[in-house]
Amino acid sequence: MALIPSQILRVAILLSYFSIICNYKAIDMPAHQTYGGSWKFLTFIDLVIQAVFFGVCVLTDLSSLLTKGAASMEQERQLQKLIGLRDWMMAVLAFPVGVFVVTMFWTLYLYDRDLVYPRLLDSFIPQWLNHGMHTTVLPFVIIEMRTTHHQYPSRLCGLLAVCSFALGYVLWMCWVHSVTGFWVYPLLEHIGPWARLVFFSGLTALISLYYILGEVLNSYIWDSRSKCKLKPSHKGTGTDAS
């Protein structure tokens, strides 16, 4: 049995995202006052995605609890819609975008932090908030995958949705550049148009790989748990997969 019920974990994670977003929005940074505000940055978009996703998870838990044992057909249909939305968000947005933000940020940060997170930001953003935006996203989404089985869409539909999100963000960055004359990330200032095209294509391929990774990991975790439950136990005791 889990030490902390998954429902309590989701509420705690949701509250932590509210705290991170509120603290980030309260920072008086020049970038927040320019065209696009915080919405220029994939990190902020990801925080909103994660907060909405865990909000849907908490709402699904509450709906399941309230309808348990006395659910009408209509209530059951509404609950299934919520579960479907939760699973779709996990597959297409929360996992691939969350993993992408964490891995890309820290890879570029370790290579040359000024390409993605100039030292000037240290005077605005405290370390705990930086880790809240760029580190804890990964363990939080892994915890959710470990505690709840999510039904993934067909791979073709999932990849189309992920690529559409990636293309949408690339077009948004290009639009911001056309309006302001500046790229959202300093890295893009140092490479030419063709290099940017290759870069954007590579990142779209990478986020697609993260989608497939999430699908495979989800199947591995829950197939393994199913096998553990079916495996004969020794000394007459059952096997707890939690």
In b/e form, how buried is each residue of 27-37, taking b as 16+ CB within 10 angstroms?
Answer: eeeeebeeebe
The set of residues, in sequence order, having a beta carbon less than 8 Å from that of 9 and lying 6+ positions away, is 143, 147
Domains contained in the chain, number: 1
Report how far residue 25's alpha carbon sits from residue 31's, in angstroms, rounded to the nearest whole number. 11
- Please report the pLDDT score of residue 240 as a whole number: 37
Q: Does residue 10 fall inside a structural domain?
A: yes
Predicted pLDDT at 16: 96
Asked, for residue 237, whether it belongs to a domain, the answer is: no
158 domain residue, yes or no: yes
In a domain, residue 242? The reply is no
Residuewise pLDDT in 10s, the chain (242 residues): 455 688 899 999 999 999 999 999 988 888 788 898 899 999 999 999 999 999 999 999 998 887 776 667 777 888 889 999 999 999 999 999 999 999 999 999 999 888 888 888 888 899 999 999 999 999 999 999 999 999 999 999 999 999 999 999 999 999 999 999 999 988 898 888 999 999 999 999 999 999 999 999 999 988 866 666 656 544 443 333 43
* Among 108, 98, 162, 110, residue whose Cα is nearest residue 135: 98
Question: Is residue 51 a part of any domain in this protein?
Answer: yes
Contact 79, 63 (CB under 8 A): yes
Enclosing domain of residue 116: 6-232
For 50-78, b/e burial (b = at least 16 CB within 10 A) is: bbebbbbbbebbebeeeeeeeeeeeeeee
pTM, two decimal places: 0.88
Q: What pLDDT score does 187 carry?
A: 87
Widest distance between CA atoms in the chain: 71
Structural domain includes residue 78: yes
Is 20 contained in some domain?
yes
Report if residue 165 sits inside a domain: yes
